Structures are given as structure tokens and as C-alpha cells.
Chain A
Amino acid sequence: QVQLVQSGAEAKKPGDSLKVSCKAAGYSFTDYMIEWVRQAPGQRLEWMGRINAGNGDTTYSQKFQGRVTMTRDTSATTAYLELSSLRSEETAIFYCARGIWGGPPDYWGQGTLVTVSS
């Protein structure tokens, strides 16, 4: 069955960078997109961007442009999210999800809590 397993919780300081991984299994990794979604405590879901796992093309939300990098390793069927210059108000759970071109996500990872505090 389709599974997306994310890396564990992290604690960061303001100004740090984060890197979250998303290991995919149970489907053909390169046939789909991987989306990244952020959720601050008590807040709505926020779409950050997506990567085409096949060709590596990326689309980022303008809100994160310049600070976000999404990559993938096809041999490891793993996608990565990097976000730099973290601020204390950016404590959040980061989710990866499988998506299709022209469609929404269907399967989600379990989430990775990133706490940003001095």
C-alpha cells in the first residue's frame, strides 16, 4: 500500500535551516508529485510547493521563494524539504503528500514537528 514516512521531530533556533525527508513506498515514485504542506499550531493548512518526482521540476509558493528548496532522490524514493532562515513563529508540522499533475494530494505522510525557539 502507499506509504509516506517522514523524518522525526526537530528542534531549531531562529536563523537555522531545516531539512525534512519523506520516504515513499508502495507505488512508482517517479510517476507522481510530492507536495509539501505546513501547519502552524491551531492554524490552517498552508501549501508550500511541489516537486515532480520524475523530472525534479519544482513549483514553490511565492511566500517561501528564496528560502525553500525541494529535492528528491529517485534511487532512495525519498523527497526532501529544506527551509532556511527559520523564525520563531514558524514552529509547525510539515507534511508531505503524494500528488498528481492537475490534481490534489491523495496520500499523506504522518507529519514532522519542527519547533523553532531560542
Chain B
Amino acid sequence: DIQMTQSPSALSASVGDRITITCRASQDISNSLAWFRQKPGKAPESLIYGASSLQSGVPSRFSGSGSGTDFTLTINSLQPEDFASYYCQHYYVYPFTFGQGTKVEI
């Protein structure tokens, strides 16, 4: 199975900050990478697919980049609803595995 490793596991930030989360795959996954936000006690929400394409309705403060094994999620101007956990997932081959998550705290 392809292992997905995120860093950091947690970070502290303030409203208005710019943050970056990284995700590394254990082998080349091309651009088959998605990002999700999960607010406490809620279902995940889809943010990005294809490493850099925003899902419909996702605010433009979210952006993604990378290909191969190294990927990043950047959030410009953090909003109160962005204090949540973030997960990357590859969909290159089965099984589709997730990273361990990054918790963004105030």
C-alpha cells in the first residue's frame, strides 16, 4: 500500500494567517492527490482534487500544489471555520490511503 505522511501533525495559527501543510507519498502518485477538511464532529469536506484543482464552491483562499511524491496545501488568510483537521488522500492505485491528518488550532 502507498503510505501518505503529513507534516506537521498539528499547528497553531491565528485568523488571517497563511499556513502550509505538506503531504508526502511513499511512491510516485502523479497528481492523484486530494485534500479534505474535517471540522470537529463533522463529516469531511472535499477541498482539492488533482493536487491543485478546487472542488466546486471551495473558497479561493485554498490552493494546492505538487506532483510525484510531494504535495502542499496552502490556506491564505485563515478564517474561523478553517480551524479543523486536514487530510490528504491519494487515488492512484487501490487502496486509496489517507494521511494521518494535520490539526490546525487557534
Contact = CB atoms under 8 A, between A and B. Distances in A.
Chain B, interface SS category: loop
Given A45-B87, A102-B91, A104-B49, A95 B98 contact: no
Interface in B88-106: 89, 91, 94-101
Chain A interface residue bracket vs B: 20 to 34
Given A44-B87, A44-B101, A45-B89, A61 B43 contact: no
Given A46-B98, A47-B97, A108 B91 contact: no
Nearest to A105: B46
Contacts of A37: 44
8 closest Cβ pairs, A-B complex = A104-B34, A61-B95, A45-B98, A47-B96, A108-B43, A106-B46, A44-B100, A104-B91
Interface of A: 35, 37, 44-47, 49, 59, 61-63, 95, 97, 102-111
Interface of B: 34, 36, 38, 43-46, 49-50, 55-56, 87, 89, 91, 94-101
